[in-house]
Amino acid sequence: MKRLILALSILMTSISPAQQPTLRPALEKTYQAWREAILRQDLTSWQQVTASHRRVEVRNRIVAERKPFPAALFQLPVPPPTLDGLRFLETSQNGPTAKAAYFGKIDFGVGGAPSDNLLVLSFVNERGVWRYDRADYVNLEALPAVRRELAAGNLKYLKETPEAQPSGKVPATPIEAPTAKYIAKVYVFSPGREVKVQINKISQHRFANAKEAEIVIGGAVDGPNEVQYAIRKLPGGTGNEALSIRVYLLSQIKDVKPIKVYEYQVQQNQAPKEYATNHFNLDAATAAKLLGK
């Protein structure tokens, strides 16, 4: 029993600077190195400090949009924010994953006066070294009570928000997808439901209570393309909500509108088919439209 308790305490730990002073400096050093690599456009350094799965995911997204890699990696709309001037809230570790949270005026260098918001950085440990995974920026404009709590040092929001705590699971590193021949996006409208979509057995997507679109990794191919989906009701959902799953093809030619090539639609109060495998066909005529011919 004592061994079990010890193992659990090591697995999931909320860490204060006094309890584990080495974690915060290690995570901040990694983030700073990642930020500098982006600003210097240093691919070698970026590869060294970025988690393996994130490196492949970023590359796959770039080539899915037919953009050049690694050049497009450094063409960010805003620079990564500095941690200077932000209030450190906490670090938390769960096995090989960790997060560091900060509060304050997060400056993305786009002008204007930044307000107090939340920044949560995620890391994974690979062979004993912490590597940067991702950053989640939480605009607290619509959460004034949370903003007041964090300003007062109350970390209740972090403790009660699963996305703000490390999961303990390192995502699997995906395969490197080929550069897309045709750019595709999957769109899902799924109030009250979780929808998982897989396209051509390469591009995997999860939407929960969503109205959003994601780029299809690997893009679309000539001829038949496979679309698999799975639908389940989320807690709080009625099971009667309308639902849409669509796939669009996007052209790189100016003024060529996206082409809808797949749609699964469920009207309100209509029961969806929970699992299905379907196809859409990218024929020569559709390809000609995408190429502006």
Residue-wise pLDDT tens digits, 145-196: 999 999 999 999 999 999 899 999 999 999 999 999 999 999 999 999 999 9
pLDDT at residue 213, as a whole number = 97
Which tokens sit at 49?
Answer: 């400090």
pLDDT at residue 177, as a whole number = 95
Q: Give the position of tokens 């909320």.
A: 14
What confidence tier does 111 reach under pLDDT thresholds 50, 70, 90? Answer: low
* Cα distance between residue 88 and residue 86, in whole Å: 6
Give SS3 for 33.
helix
> Exposed/middle/buried for 96, CB within 10 Å: 0-12, 13-18, 19+?
middle
Lowest mean pLDDT among 7-16, 114-123, 139-148, 165-174: 7-16
pLDDT at residue 20, as a whole number = 56
Element (H, E) at 248: strand 243-250
Q: Give the position of tokens 């698999």.
A: 228
pLDDT at residue 89, as a whole number = 97
What confidence tier does 14 reach under pLDDT thresholds 50, 70, 90? Answer: very low
Taking the model in full, what pTM does it have?
0.85
Query: What values do phi and psi take at 198, rounded to 5?
Result: -130, 130
Is the pLDDT confidence value at 1 over 90? no
* Cα distance between residue 172 and residue 189, in whole Å: 27
What confidence tier does 115 reach under pLDDT thresholds 50, 70, 90? Answer: confident
Q: What domains are defined for the chain? A: 2-164 (3.10.450), 183-290 (no CATH)
pLDDT at residue 209, as a whole number = 92
How high is the mean pLDDT of the chain?
91
Q: Give the position of tokens 């999961």.
A: 167
Is the pLDDT confidence value at 19 over 80? no
137-148 mean pLDDT: 93
